[in-house]
Amino acid sequence: MKRSLPLVTAAALLAAAAVAPTSDAATTCSYSAATHVMTITLGAQGDFGQVTRDGSAIEVNLGPCSGGPTVTNTSAIAINGAPSARTAAAVDLTGGPLAPGFSPTPGDPSPSIPVTYTAGTAFGDEFLVLGGPAVNSFAFGQAGTTGLFNLDVAAEGEDPDSDGLFTGVETVTAIARGTASTISAGGGSATGGPLTTTFSAHGGEGPDAFRSGTGSTAFFGGAGDDVLDAAGAAVASLHPGRGDDVVTGGLSVNDTVEYVNEPAAVTVDLARTGKQDTGGSGQDTIVGVENAIGTSFDDVLRGNDISNRLTGGKGADVLEGRGGKLDTLIGGTLQSDTAGVDTVSYASAAAPVNVSLAAQARPQDTGGQGVDLIAGMANVVGGSAADTITGDAQDNRIDARDGIGDTVDCAGGNDSVVADLAGVDALMGCEAADFFVPPPAQPEPEPQPPADPVAPPAQPQAADRSLTFSLKAAKKQKLGTKGTLTVTVACPAEPCNARLKAAVLIAAPRGATTAKPLTAAAASASLAAGKRRTIALKLSRKAVKRVRSALAARRKVTVTVKATAADRAGNRRTASRIVTLVR
């Protein structure tokens, strides 16, 4: 979107007008009984004129207008902006339509009082339409430099007309409040060609359908199943909302789908053109969009084969650019302010990649997946070829397990690497390495005598659908000198791989709000059948510092350890234990 300020400003002006019992001192209103015209004058910078209906009376900024205009004695409404100052005007249909007017056209199925807004020459003038409680059906367009609008398209059928016009306006905003809405800036038989100004539309609780003009566009879907069509827009910012939405980007290569305000994490793949389950925001269909912005939770954002900008925001995010001339991958931090948990992934790379966390915030040629600019990342997942991965001074986790020799330089910090068999990968400066341990070889089967011809045929072996897994830990433990606590894991009947995560919860001080868990450690291990393995989970340095400080202050500290085991057949088992740390 070219500019985000106008929408915020219009909303703020509307809120200010909503609490004012009379019109603004610099905004004047008069009605002429002779001409049946209501005139609103916006005389100074920042003045706002909101036209609305209260019963049969027509008000400005929720206050009366001199002369007493009503919906039956008024034939036109004129809003005049200050000649060289920035102003805004709004038509508010909350109290009902501005209809029928003093002399409605005979045969008009939906007569309305025309509204004209003439803005000044200053940049930043705005025109706002707020829908009513019923179905909203708006159309906006342009003829030359004059904007046109129709506020009751559905009711007029095949013979629509224009309900007003505006000139000198840079931003148009439509806010739907009804059960379902259709809002278009694509023009029409009564509204000219497509609107070229900056345009935004906000959906309600029901299904909404939005169509852009040719200017910069921002669409905000609501809770329903919405259609956000910005195919003609110069550039688009698209917020689908919580329903199952269809999102179409514009003409530029810089359109963005945004999930910033969604209540749960999302998984978004810009390479998919069909319906995809985002998790936290319904099943969306996304087409023609180059960029994505995640939620405040643990998102997975994947690009396509053109240049993408993926922004994770808060949460432990995984970002994968997948090639393109230049991918920009921006991480963030957890809500607990624990930095360094975002991951840049090259899991889909078939050719070798060369990536360095020490070269963040500037473009680097990865080789196998084009040029990337990464920022705010702490972890790396390599591809399926011989990769070269370099860490930085913070604590990194690097996953290079692919069966092919990779080169990993963990650099500074307290780093861990998930690697292939010992000796396959070249590892440097890594404090902890989880090497792949192959399952023990199975003995050759003994020769069997020929089958008895009269014996019944052997029954097929049942599929492996079970996995036994145990996780044990002392209920109370002292934190080790290196910031560790120990757990024991085992798969008694067969080999398996286990992944462990530890989250620390420190009791909030008296009078404070509820504490939030702190993700503090992760590890993985390959387990032989029937053999227990003791694992020392090493907490991050920041977590250790906070834990020791809390224990010194006699605050309760618990660690929740969650482990997931998987066998060759794909069976999974999960177990968890809670450990109380003591001094």
Name the band, by pLDDT with cuts 50, 70 and 90, for residue 371.
very high
The whole-number pLDDT of residue 202 equals 96
> Which residues, in sequence order, are CB contacts of 232 under 8 Å at separation 6+?
186, 194, 212, 213, 214, 250, 251
> Residue 114 pLDDT > 60, yes or no?
yes
**What is the per-residue pLDDT across 47-83, written as a single tens digit (0 to 9) for each?**
999 999 999 999 999 999 999 999 999 999 999 999 9
User: Which is more confident, 383 or 457?
Assistant: 383
Average pLDDT across the chain, whole number: 88
User: Which is more confident, 109 or 13?
Assistant: 109
**What is the per-residue pLDDT across 139-151, written as a single tens digit (0 to 9) for each?**
999 999 999 999 9
**Residue 8 DSSP one-character state:** H
The whole-number pLDDT of residue 20 equals 36
Q: Is residue 228 within a helix (H) or strand (E), and if so which, with residue range?
A: strand 227-229
The whole-number pLDDT of residue 492 equals 83
Name the band, by pLDDT with cuts 50, 70 and 90, for residue 6.
very low
Cβ–Cβ < 8 Å for 313, 274:
no
The whole-number pLDDT of residue 426 equals 95
The whole-number pLDDT of residue 9 equals 38
> Residue 250 pLDDT > 70, yes or no?
yes
**What is the per-residue pLDDT across 81-109, written as a single tens digit (0 to 9) for each?**
999 999 999 999 999 999 999 988 887 88
> Residue 19 pLDDT > 60, yes or no?
no
The whole-number pLDDT of residue 451 equals 59
Name the band, by pLDDT with cuts 50, 70 and 90, for residue 14.
very low
* Percentage of the residues of the chain whose pLDDT score is greater than 90: 62
The whole-number pLDDT of residue 570 equals 77
Domain ranges in the chain with CATH number 2.60.40.2550: 470-582
DSSP string, 46-76: T-EEEEEEETTEEEETTB--BT--BTTT-SE
User: Which is more confident, 285 or 541?
Assistant: 285
**What is the per-residue pLDDT across 169-181, written as a single tens digit (0 to 9) for each?**
999 999 998 788 9
CB atoms within 10 A of CB 508: 13
- Return the residue matching tokens 């922004």: 311
List the beta strands (DSSP E) in 88-160: 88-92, 115-118, 126-130, 136-143, 146-150
> Residue 8 pLDDT > 50, yes or no?
no
> Residue 16 pLDDT > 90, yes or no?
no
Name the band, by pLDDT with cuts 50, 70 and 90, for residue 455.
low
**In Å, how far from its chain's centre is CA 17?**
32
Burial class (CB in 10 A: 0-12, 13-18, 19+), 153: buried
The whole-number pLDDT of residue 190 equals 92
> Residue 267 pLDDT > 60, yes or no?
yes
User: Which is more confident, 168 or 529?
Assistant: 168
* Percentage of the residues of the chain whose pLDDT score is greater than 70: 90
**What is the per-residue pLDDT across 299-311, written as a single tens digit (0 to 9) for each?**
999 999 999 999 9
> Residue 4 pLDDT > 60, yes or no?
no
User: Which is more confident, 476 or 333?
Assistant: 476
The whole-number pLDDT of residue 92 equals 97
The whole-number pLDDT of residue 165 equals 97
Count CA within 13 A, CB hemisphere, residue 367. Answer: 14
User: Which is more confident, 355 or 457?
Assistant: 355
Cβ–Cβ < 8 Å for 256, 289:
yes
CB atoms within 10 A of CB 45: 14
The whole-number pLDDT of residue 452 equals 58
Q: What is the CATH number of domain 470-582?
A: 2.60.40.2550
Lookup: tokens for 199: 């345009």
Report helix, strand or coil for 567.
coil
Range with the lowest mean pLDDT among 226-230, 391-395, 554-558?
Answer: 554-558
Name the band, by pLDDT with cuts 50, 70 and 90, for residue 463.
low
> Residue 340 pLDDT > 60, yes or no?
no
User: Which is more confident, 22 or 205?
Assistant: 205
The torsion defined by the Cα of 191, 197, 198 and 199, in degrees rounded to 10, comes to 0
* Percent composition of the chain: helix, strand, coil (DSSP 3-state, to 5): 5, 40, 55
- Output the CA–CA distances (angstroms, integers) from residue 113 to 65, 169, 188, 326, 471, in the order listed: 16, 20, 20, 52, 74
The whole-number pLDDT of residue 544 equals 87
The whole-number pLDDT of residue 26 equals 82
The whole-number pLDDT of residue 441 equals 72
The whole-number pLDDT of residue 457 equals 58
The whole-number pLDDT of residue 513 equals 46
> Residue 199 pLDDT > 70, yes or no?
yes
- Return the residue matching tokens 């994505």: 292
Dmax over Cα atoms in the chain, in whole Å? 115
